[in-house]
Chain A
Amino acid sequence: MASTIRVRATSNGDITEVQALIQHPMDSGFVKDAKGEIIPPHFIQQLTFEYDGRNVFAADWGGGVSRDPYVKFAFKGGKKGDDLKISWVDNKGATDTTTAKIQ
């Protein structure tokens, strides 16, 4: 199954810039459907970007983040060709993870 995580990481030698687009409904649990019933909460709770064995970015999310979240950040270090590992866990216990090469 195709990954839900699209990521692009580019390093200029000093700083690595990371962009990621994650496919997830991110239902807050406050929205009603056409029938008037609450759509149950279904959102990513933890998101981590791991480089060289340590987290360079970690997020604890709630229902306030919109569907298909887009994340952009930069971290010091990171070399071209190295791996960057992205993982998420949602409130239903589902997870996904992917590894990208820094360009």
Chain B
Amino acid sequence: MKLLSAIPFATTALALAVLTFAAPAPAADTVDPVKDATAFRKFFTDKFPKVKLEDFVNGPYSMNEDLHKQWEEKEQFPPYEFSLEMGKEMFTKPFKNGKSYEDCFPNKGIGVRQNYPAFDEKEGKVVTLELALNRCREANGEPAFSYVRDEMAALTAYMAFTSRGKPMDIKIPNDPRALEAYEKGKEYFYTRRGQLNFSCATCHVQSPGERIRAEVLAPALGILNAMPIYRSEWNGMGTTSRRFTTCNSQIRGVPLTPQDDEYRNVEYYLSYVSNGLPISGPGARP
């Protein structure tokens, strides 16, 4: 009696043991951004063989021919023009203490957007362009701008414009903290959140070119290259921070505070895997 009942138990135990040892090892524990970026790019070029690599930065327009035509026309007289002009004015105007943004950035802030976000080894964290701009303001006795309103959008629009065409060039220094920030950014990108249980990847990796309600979804490759963007939906210009927070609330997740670590890290990750693709900002989107 005891032996008979022991056999199924043993079989089960054996089966479990086999499964445990036969189970595939979890994905490589070493962080390899170069490998990630190659795989990331290949995923999208394989999925959309007719799209030229540099066109991925045009988001939904690279996914839909009709939208592309309308967008090309609009680019002759782009809706972000007013914001861009305002940004140029703001950027060149000195602070009350006589200094200006030019003193905070390499090359006076011209043609440097493609280097952001950057890992700050002194601070041990990722610094985004928006964060750098506000730190510049505060260091010079000026109040910080909201990360989601027009002024920050105008400033980043101007800086993006001076870098137009330059390839995204994000560096990950040989520092375990930088690798960790990159990896955390990657984790954020693929983690599902909100009551709708969407991750960034749900829309931008699984469904680019398809529609969510009336909008055509952009591919994740090059998705930040056009920032900041004039969105018709917003009837105005919006920053990367604005897009992150609104994406969160759209899937019924309470947004974090702009420039929280998670946002800085995901911007780092997304920008890095889009290295080589041209800066196309400021952009226009539906």
Contacts and interface: CB of A to CB of B under 8 A. Distances in A.
B77 interface: yes
Interface string B208-251: 00000000000000000000000010011000000000000000
B99 interface: no
Given A8-B76, A70-B74, A72-B73, A21 B81 contact: yes
Interface string A14-35: 0000011101000000000000
Contacts of B77: 6, 8, 19-21, 70
B79 interface: yes
A4 to B, nearest CB: 9
Contacts of A67: 235-236
Nearest to A2: B85
B82 interface: yes
Nearest to B78: A21
A74 B153 CA distance: 33
Interface string B142-161: 00000000000000000000
A82 interface: no
Contact of A23 (B74, B82, B232): B82
Interface in B79-101: 79, 81-82
Contacts of B74: 70
Contacts of B82: 23, 68
Contacts, number: 22
Contacts of A6: 77, 81
B73 A21 contact: no
A61 B143 CA distance: 39
Contacts of A66: 232, 235
Contacts of B235: 66-68
A66 to B, nearest CB: 6
* Residue from A8, A23, A68, A72 whose CB has the most chain B CB atoms within 10 Å: A68
Contacts of B73: 72
Contacts of B81: 6, 21
Contact of B79 (A8, A19, A68, A72): A68
A11 to B, nearest CB: 16
Contacts of A68: 79, 82, 235
A66 B76 CA distance: 19
Nearest to A31: B235
A23 B81 CA distance: 10
Interface in A59-100: 66-68, 70, 72
B236 A19 contact: no
A6 B79 CA distance: 11
A91 B236 CA distance: 22
Nearest to A71: B77
Nearest to A8: B77
Interface of A: 6, 8, 19-21, 23, 66-68, 70, 72
22 contacts: A6-B77, A6-B81, A8-B76, A8-B77, A19-B76, A19-B77, A20-B77, A21-B77, A21-B79, A21-B81, A23-B82, A66-B232, A66-B235, A67-B235, A67-B236, A68-B79, A68-B82, A68-B235, A70-B74, A70-B77, A70-B79, A72-B73
